[in-house]
Each structure stands twice: as structure tokens, then as C-alpha cells.
A and B are shown apart, each in its own frame.
Chain A
Amino acid sequence: MINYHTVYTTCPYCGTGCGMLLEVMNGRLVGVLPCKTNSINQGKLCIKGWSAHEFVHSPERLKKPLLRKDGRLEEVEWDEALSFIASKLKAITQTHGPDSFAALSSAKCTNEENYLLQKFTRAVIGTNNIDHCARL
């Protein structure tokens, strides 16, 4: 049976924050409609907003964790990638101290993700070396 519904969300591009409806058909994004009742954009979008669904199903999406082995990035399972990170990070920060670590967070990630990455940087590693691309 066909399924068509929309999901109310916020545009992933600039900081205006237009309200958009993602059109979902049978589990795939098939389009975007501007939310008519959002007070910021009032049923309008720019060309980027109108096409915000297009990159989501791109065949170029990263689909598996990658780990550099013999100079090349190879697909691995999550557990291997995570334990590699944990052991490397521990070794580096134990040898060189917490200030040898830095994190670059993102103005394209959510509040929750930014909050967690700075919490990880400050509370787990123990450094204030965190910044993002707000200036770029």
C-alpha cells in the first residue's frame, strides 16, 4: 500500500530557519513543500530550500565507518572504529596531556550534538579546545 505523509522540520541551509514539510513516500523523500503556517517563511522557500531533499539520497553518502589501514580508508564495523578511537585518544592524551586534543564542532549540527561534543571535549578529555565555523 502507498504511504504518503509529510514531516514538519526546519531547513538545513542558512540561518533564517524556514519551516518546511518533507514529503515522504514509501520511506523515501520525494519533495519539499514550504510550510504555509510558519511565521518566518509563510509558505515560501528559496531554491536551496525547495531542493533540500535532493542530497539526502545521494549515492555518495558515507554508509559505513572507515578506518585508515596501510594508507587507505577501508570500511569497518562501528565497534572497530570506536575502539580504535578510544585507544588512540587515550594514548595521545595520556602522553601529551588533554590540550593535545581539539574538536571542531559544526554550525550545521544540532544544539544537542554541539552540546555533547563540547561536553565530551571539556568533561571527558579535559580541554577547552573546541570551536566551530561560525566565523567562516
Chain B
Amino acid sequence: MGSLREAIRKALTAGEVAGVVGLILEEGHPRPHLFTKEAIDELERLVVGDVRYPLAGVLLKIHRSDPEARLGIVARGCDERAVLELDRNEQLNGEGVVIFGIACTQEQANACQCAQPYPSSHLFGERAAPVSDSERFDRLESLSKEERFQYWMDQFGKCIKCYGCRNICPMCFCPDCVLEDNDLIKTGNIPPEVPIFHLVRAFHMAERCVDCGLCEEACPAGIPLRTLYKKMRNVVTTQFGFTPGITKEGKGPLQYLGDGEFGKQEGH
């Protein structure tokens, strides 16, 4: 923890970054915070642990309010993947974002079934072994098409339409959301139109989802969203050789569609 704090302190005091997004412990609860030079003592309360918040999403929010400020982020593997994808989608200037990496513990990696539980470099923790298999994913894949269809219809039917999956997602950066457009998907119903609401979101996640799993953690109805998006990721990987958050260079497959202004229009 000492070297992580020291690196952030140095970067802030030297003016290398204007602020660093991380978790602060207050009233016993870790929560997102922007650490700055002006309140440098707050770094003593910087925490790293099991609790995860959408830090890349917070970073994006701050960046939009002050696009000139150079920002840093205390990033796990999943946070770094999100920063990479936000950059690819022209929402951030990723090279301007300073990563203060933290590696997840093996227990955390196991709990998340995370295939890359560490960022490209880290100042805290030790690299845990990747967890590549997802038991639930494999179990669903082994079902017949009819069984699988019924399973998902039942799961989508539980939805209480909180929009938590979208709201918590660091990759949901669009200012106007198709899921709120009454002409496309009927609004005002619980559950939202089954299965179209969830399938539309799944398609939108296809080349964006960095497999952080925050959506599933935020779902009050316990819908296994991450398994659904994992399937989309796998399809994109197999068909296009592109894995969001992992493939470092080049555009995502859907970015070749349209006039190329897609990402730029949104968010700026």
C-alpha cells in the first residue's frame, strides 16, 4: 500500500496529474473519490479491497467536466480494460490517463472468474493466476437450444427495469440510450419487453464489454448478465479476432460501420 500511495502522492504533488480516481474509506464504507494535491492528506484513507465501483465510469464523468485535466486512476485489470475501450471509442484520451495498477488477489480472481485479474503493470499486490473457465457459462452452453431459450426468458422476466446494468457499466457512455426510446422498446413496463430489452443491450455490449461483471453485481433480480455478455464477447473474438479490453491496437469491428463519426458524436 505504501508504494501505491507514494506513487500517487508524487504524481499529484509534481503536477503530473490533476487528480487520481480511487476508493476512499469514509464512515466505514469505501467509495469512489478524486484525490487531489489540494487535499493530499486524504491519501491516508485510500483503500484497496474486495469492493469494486465503476472507477473508469467516474473517470469519464470527471474528464467530461474538465477535458483538459490529466487524470490518474487506481486500476485493477478490469478498470484498465475499460480505460482502453473508452479510449478506443474516443471518449477518453487514454494515453493521457495515468494508471496506478493494482493486482487482484487469487480469491478475488476466483470470485470474479476473471481471465485477466491484473493491469499491465502494478504497484500493489501480486499477479494471481487467470481464471479462464466459467462454470456457469459452460453449464448453460451444454443445455439444448430450447432449454437455454427458456432459461433466458425466465431470467429476463425477473427484470425490474432499474437500469442498474447500464448505469453502472463503465462502457455505457452514450448520452441517449436506445433502452429509453419508447419507439424502439416500449418504456414504462415491468418487466421490460422480454427478451428484446436485454438482447439489445447484449448486442450493444458485443464489442465493448470488458467483462468486469459490475452489471451482474448491480442487478437486484440476479440475472446472470455477465454470462450473457461473455457469450457476445466470445462470438466477437471468434468471428473478428477482437476481444474488448484485451486487443490493444486497431478499431473494434463495429467501428468500421457507418461514417466513422459514431464514437465522436457521443459524449462530446
Known A-B contacts A50-B163, A50-B167; the reply to A33 vs B29 at CB < 8 A is no
Query: What separation, in Å, do the CA atoms of A112 and B53 have in the docked complex?
Result: 32
Residue of A nearest to B19 (CB): A2
Cross-chain contact A3 with B27 (CB below 8 angstroms) = no
Query: What separation, in Å, do the CA atoms of A21 and B52 have in the docked complex?
Result: 14
CB of B30 closer than 8 Å to a CB of A = yes
Cross-chain contact B163 with A4 (CB below 8 angstroms) = no
With a 10 A CB-CB cut-off, give which of B19, B31, B66 has the most chain A CB atoms.
B31
Q: Which one, B33-41, B225-233, B251-259, is touching chain A?
A: B33-41
Cross-chain contact B33 with A47 (CB below 8 angstroms) = no
A8 contact from B27, B34, B54, B61, Cβ within 8 A? B27
CB of A83 closer than 8 Å to a CB of B = no
Residue of A nearest to B28 (CB): A37
Query: What separation, in Å, do the CA atoms of A34 and B19 have in the docked complex?
Result: 23
Least distance between B229 CB and chain A CB atoms (Å): 18
The number of inter-chain residue pairs (CB within 8 angstroms) is 90
CB of A12 closer than 8 Å to a CB of B = no
Residue of B nearest to A21 (CB): B31
Query: What separation, in Å, do the CA atoms of A33 and B52 have in the docked complex?
Result: 12
Q: Which residues of B sit under 8 angstroms from A1, Cβ to Cβ?
A: 18-19, 36, 38
Least distance between A28 CB and chain B CB atoms (Å): 10
Chain B residue total in the interface (Cβ 8 A) = 36
Residue of A nearest to B37 (CB): A1
Least distance between B105 CB and chain A CB atoms (Å): 17
Known A-B contacts A34-B218, A37-B51, A44-B219; the reply to A5 vs B34 at CB < 8 A is yes
Q: Which residues of A sit under 8 angstroms from B218, Cβ to Cβ?
A: 34, 43-45
Query: What separation, in Å, do the CA atoms of A27 and B49 have in the docked complex?
Result: 28
Cross-chain contact A4 with B19 (CB below 8 angstroms) = yes
Q: Which residues of B sit under 8 angstroms from A132, Cβ to Cβ?
A: none
Least distance between A112 CB and chain B CB atoms (Å): 19
Known A-B contacts A34-B218, A43-B218; the reply to A2 vs B163 at CB < 8 A is no
Produce 1/0 per residue, A20-52, CB < 8 A to B: 010101100011011111100101111101100
Q: Which residues of A sit under 8 angstroms from B18, Cβ to Cβ?
A: 1-2
A35 contact from B21, B29, B61, B160, Cβ within 8 A? B29
Cross-chain contact B29 with A8 (CB below 8 angstroms) = yes
CB of B65 closer than 8 Å to a CB of A = yes
CB of A114 closer than 8 Å to a CB of B = no
Q: Which residues of B sit under 8 angstroms from A41, Cβ to Cβ?
A: 220
Cross-chain contact B62 with A4 (CB below 8 angstroms) = yes
Cross-chain contact B36 with A37 (CB below 8 angstroms) = no
B33 contact from A5, A38, A49, Cβ within 8 A? A5
Q: Which residues of A sit under 8 angstroms from B160, Cβ to Cβ?
A: 46-47
Known A-B contacts A46-B160, A47-B161, A50-B167; the reply to A4 vs B33 at CB < 8 A is yes
CB of A6 closer than 8 Å to a CB of B = yes
CB of B164 closer than 8 Å to a CB of A = yes
Least distance between B150 CB and chain A CB atoms (Å): 25
4 nearest interchain CB pairs? A4-B34, A44-B220, A6-B31, A37-B29
Q: Can you pick out 15 interface pairs between chain A and chain B where the beta carbons lie within 8 Å of each other? A: A1-B36, A2-B62, A8-B27, A8-B29, A23-B32, A23-B61, A30-B65, A33-B53, A33-B168, A36-B29, A44-B162, A46-B162, A46-B220, A47-B163, A50-B163
